[in-house]
Structure 1
Amino acid sequence: MKWSEHTWQAIEPKYQSILEMSFIKELSDGTLPLEKFKFYMAQDSLYLEHFGRTLSLIAAKIPDLQHVLTFMRFAENAIVVENALHELYFTDFGVTDKGTLQPACHHYTHFLRSTAALEAVEVAVAAVLPCFWIYREVGDYIYKHQNAINNPYHKWIETYGGEEFSIAVDQAIAICDTIAEKATEETRNKMTEAFIMSTRMEYHFWEAAYELKIWK
């Protein structure tokens, strides 16, 4: 069994709990309060900026040159998407200021950046994978289960269906499996731990948006 298959089995209950979240259900059927969606969108924009920088750091450390190029493209795409959010959807939904990193986003981005800076590159690659993989799977779920009639978030949901992003996710998974094959058992265990931690962070990111969690 590949590392990715084994690790996905480990987080399957957590993934199912994400699908059952009120934020996901209400986004799908169009009943999510606008205030919560705007909070999510602003935090997501801030997250992508830090995520892009983390991917750049991984690109600088990963040994294989093809993997270097792939992660450089990942980093570029993260920044491009962040800019698109700011220029297109912020206007559509009346967001004028991204604000600052709130607790869940702050925790997630700093976990990724510290992992990329201080841990083995194999662990860093595993830590960023949930943002690719879980986001795709949840996005596909929302896309398939959406209420497309008078859903104010329909245009946003349509962005989940992109084939280009799905290809990038497959590339990220394949890179993780390749480096896991060459890694020691200890490193593979650390990769799995990092993947599980980021999966938890994915859950709390959506939870924070629904509950509007800010610094006290």
Structure 2
Amino acid sequence: MAGLFSRLKEACRPDWEAYVGHAFVRGLGDGSLPERCFRHYLVQDYLFLIQFARAYALSAYKSDTLGDMRRAAGAMGAILDREMALHVEYCAGWGLDEAAMAATPEATATLAYTRFVLERGMSGDLLDLNVALAPCVVGYAEIAAALQRDPRMRLDGNPYRAWIEAYSADDYQAVARDKVALLDDLAARRGGEARFTALTRDFSAACRLEAGFWQMGYDLSA
């Protein structure tokens, strides 16, 4: 039987495809995305990461085993101690200053997705929270890997090459595989078919909110 993530992705196929195949993503692949769109996305992604660190702190609180707590704490630490630093360094290459990014208001799309994730964690359990997180974590890995395979993608001279390579790299692909494995583990311990319909709704909503996050940046291309 297919794992939970595969089943959720198949049940939400139109929303998933709208997210991973968004015009913003295609613009990253062929280098045609206007740079102002990408800069806006980078600033909001900085703010997004802060809220995702909070989500993993909530995940530790919602855990009822030491293993789950350590896994959540490790993910939070990776965001705060490594991913944020890498993001700030990358943004500096685009002329973006951390203090200015921190002072930028969260866009509506940023608020919508991050608060949705936190709400699912607050009102639900560890499985609900991780289902809401999964489209972001796994989706970026699938997007980058698909772009690497796409013959229409332009690497030479593509200003977004480093972004694509970061998420298609082995270390991030391993993070995505771990998230898929975690969902399967949580589903075995906390799942049951009675929960699948509700989990599908949450996964679908997260995909639509992720597509909205892309659209937030893409709107600046008009």
2:203 is aligned with 1:202 = no
- Matching residue of 2:183: 176
For residues 90 and 3 of structure 1, the distance between their equivalents in structure 2, rounded to whole angstroms, comes to 35
For residues 18 and 125 of structure 1, the distance between their equivalents in structure 2, rounded to whole angstroms, comes to 18
2:24 is aligned with 1:31 = no
CA contact (8 A) 1:3 1:180 kept: yes
- Matching residue of 1:160: 167
CA deviation after TM superposition for structure 1 residue 116, in Å: 1.2
**Structure 2 alignment gaps of length 5 or more:** none
CA deviation after TM superposition for structure 1 residue 164, in Å: 1.9
Q: 5 Å matches for 1:59-70?
A: 59-70=60-71
- Matching residue of 1:90: 91
Give the 3-state SS of the residue equivalent to 1:93 in structure 2: coil
CA deviation after TM superposition for structure 1 residue 122, in Å: 1.8
Moved more, 176-185 or 128-137: 176-185
Amino acid at match of 2:198: K
CA deviation after TM superposition for structure 1 residue 83, in Å: 2.4
Which one of the candidate residues 103, 108, 118 is aligned to 2:108?
Answer: 103
Which one of the candidate residues 132, 141, 144 is aligned to 2:137?
Answer: 132
Following TM superposition, where does structure 1 have runs of at least 4 consecutive aligned residues deviating by more than 6 angstroms?
A: none
- Matching residue of 1:142: 147
**Structure 1 alignment gaps of length 5 or more:** none
- Matching residue of 1:21: 22
Change (3 A) 1:124 1:210: same
For residues 21 and 105 of structure 1, the distance between their equivalents in structure 2, rounded to whole angstroms, comes to 17
CA contact (8 A) 1:122 1:187 kept: no
CA deviation after TM superposition for structure 1 residue 131, in Å: 1.2
Amino acid at match of 1:120: D
2:59 is aligned with 1:51 = no
CA contact (8 A) 1:36 1:210 kept: yes
Change (3 A) 1:45 1:161: same
TM-score normalised according to structure 2 size: 0.88
> Which structure is richer in relative contact order (CA contacts within 8 A, separation 6 or more)?
2
Amino acid at match of 2:178: Q
For residues 92 and 71 of structure 2, the distance between their equivalents in structure 1, rounded to whole angstroms, comes to 31
TM-score normalised according to structure 1 size: 0.90
Change (3 A) 1:174 1:20: closer
CA deviation after TM superposition for structure 1 residue 73, in Å: 1.5
For residues 196 and 21 of structure 2, the distance between their equivalents in structure 1, rounded to whole angstroms, comes to 30
Per-residue displacement from partner, 1:115-158 (whole Å, max 9, x unpaired)?
Answer: 11221222112111111111111121223333111111222222
Question: CA-atom RMSD, angstroms?
Answer: 1.8
Change (3 A) 1:20 1:41: same
- Matching residue of 1:185: 193
CA contact (8 A) 2:62 2:126 kept: yes
